[in-house]
A and B are shown apart, each in its own frame.
Chain A
Amino acid sequence: MSEPNILLTRIDNRLIHGQVGVTWTMTLGANLILVADDETANNKTVQEIMSLTAESSGASTRFWTIEKTINTVHKAAPRQKIFIVCKTPHEARLLIEGGVPIHELNVGNMHFSKGKHQISKKVYVDDDDLTDFKAIEEKGVNVFIQDVPGDMKEKIKY
């Protein structure tokens, strides 16, 4: 079976919102936004609202748990151009270690919370985040910080 066509994976605290549902999806030419998040997978209302946002870009949406994503994504048809979104680097790491063929990881929004320090305009991290990023990069994934297409890409500085 051929690899699912995953155009990009993005870490964004807000999952699907304007920049993701419209800008990134249109720029990538994705027709399927796959939100890999255990909490969202169990919240129908949030799913409905997020899929409205995605509608404006013409993409379909899936809201799956991390486990379901790992087990099911390889069944994608070749015509499906997938954009995966998850909340944190830890979830991205679980997907990658679970065998989801992710080659490019875009770091979008990681909000401030206590104990985190700022490494880019929209990105705050703590030591656990950095450990996850290191593990991801060691697997050969290209990790870059970029809020919207057209912004300069930055690498994670450890």
Chain B
Amino acid sequence: MKFILTGHGPFAEGLSGAVKMVGGTALTCDVVPFLDDEASVFGKKLRSIIREASSSDGAVVFCDLMGGTPFNQAMAEAVSFDNIEVVAGANMPMLLECLLTYSPGESAQDIARKAVNAGRFGVVDGKVAMANKHDEEFEGDGI
């Protein structure tokens, strides 16, 4: 299963570096940045990486922004393959959850669903979260 990370400018490299800092250097993604001076070749490059992944276990392509060029190019290729999913709005909680809890055998759809969930739940107003926190009670034995 490939984890492909793409986005505008330094987004993909930046997010990839941050993920490795928190999650460990073993958490690698295929990073495909969309840079100004590579605009003409980016689409071909991304699509060929996706095609290659589709011929083995598949891939999830994490993009920065729905409707941006990285997303559009990924979707254009993804529609042809059942084992390729595309998720936009990639963020740290999303990447960490998907990479840390990945188990072989998970489908691209499973991962994409997990990604959307984790990405959404990771967007938090700190003070609101603290105010809403209540002490948990648990039943039964234990500490």
Chain A contact residues, CB within 8 Å of chain B: 4, 18-19, 22-23, 26-27, 32, 34, 48-49, 51-52, 56, 60, 62, 72-73, 75-77, 79-80, 147-151
Q: Is the CB of A23 within 8 A of B25?
A: no
Q: List, in ascending order, chain B residues with CB within 8 A of A150's CB.
A: 24-27
With A19-B22, A77-B140, A151-B25 given, can you name 5 additional A-B contacts, CB distance below 8 Å? Answer: A19-B23, A75-B142, A77-B142, A79-B142, A151-B24
Report the minimal beta-carbon distance from B126 to chain A, rounded to whole angstroms: 7
- The distance in angstroms between the C-alpha atoms of A48 and B135, with both chains bound, is 10
User: Which 9 A-B pairs have CB atoms at the shortest separation, nearest pair first?
Assistant: A150-B26, A77-B142, A148-B24, A150-B24, A18-B22, A26-B100, A77-B141, A76-B143, A23-B23
Q: Name the contact of B23 in the complex, choosing from A51, A73, A148 (C-beta under 8 A).
A: A148
Chain A residues closer than 8 Å to B138, beta-carbon distance: 60
Complex CA distance for A32 and B25, rounded to whole angstroms: 25
Structural contact, A23 and B96, CB atoms closer than 8 A: yes
Check A27 against B100 for contact (C-beta < 8 Å): yes
> Are A75 and B143 neighbours in the complex by a CB distance under 8 Å?
yes
B80 on the A face (CB < 8 A):
no
Closest to A75 in B: B143
| Interface bits B117-143 vs A (CB < 8 Å: 1, else 0) | 000011010100110010010101111
How large, as a class, is the contact surface on chain B?
A: 20 to 34
Assembled-state Cα–Cα distance A48/B134 (Å): 10
Taking beta carbons and an 8 Å cutoff, which residues of B are in contact with A?
A: 22-27, 93, 96-97, 100-101, 121-122, 124, 126, 129-130, 133, 136, 138, 140-143
Q: How far is the CB of A106 from chain B (nearest CB, A)?
A: 13
**A19 to B22, alpha carbons, bound, how many Å?**
5
Pick from A22, A32, A72, A73: contact of B96, CB below 8 A.
A22
**Which residues on the A side are within 8 Å of B97 (C-beta)?**
26, 56
Which A residues touch B136, using CB under 8 A? 60
B143/A80 in contact, CB under 8 A: yes
Interchain CB contact under 8 A, A26 and B133:
no
Distance in angstroms from B122 CB to nearest chain A CB is 7
Give the chain B neighbours of A32 by CB distance below 8 A.
143
Q: Which of A23, A51, A62 contacts B100 (CB 8 A)?
A: A23
Among A48, A73, A148, A149, residue most surrounded by chain B Cβ atoms (within 10 Å): A148
Contact B101 A26 (CB under 8 A): yes
Selected from A23, A34, A73, the residue in CB contact (under 8 A) with B24 is: A23
- Whether the Cβ atoms of B22 and A51 lie closer than 8 Å is no
**Contacting residues, chain A, for B25 (C-beta < 8 A):** 148, 150-151
Instruction: Give the chain A neighbours of B140 by CB distance below 8 A.
Output: 77
A146 (CB) vs chain B CBs: closest residue: B24
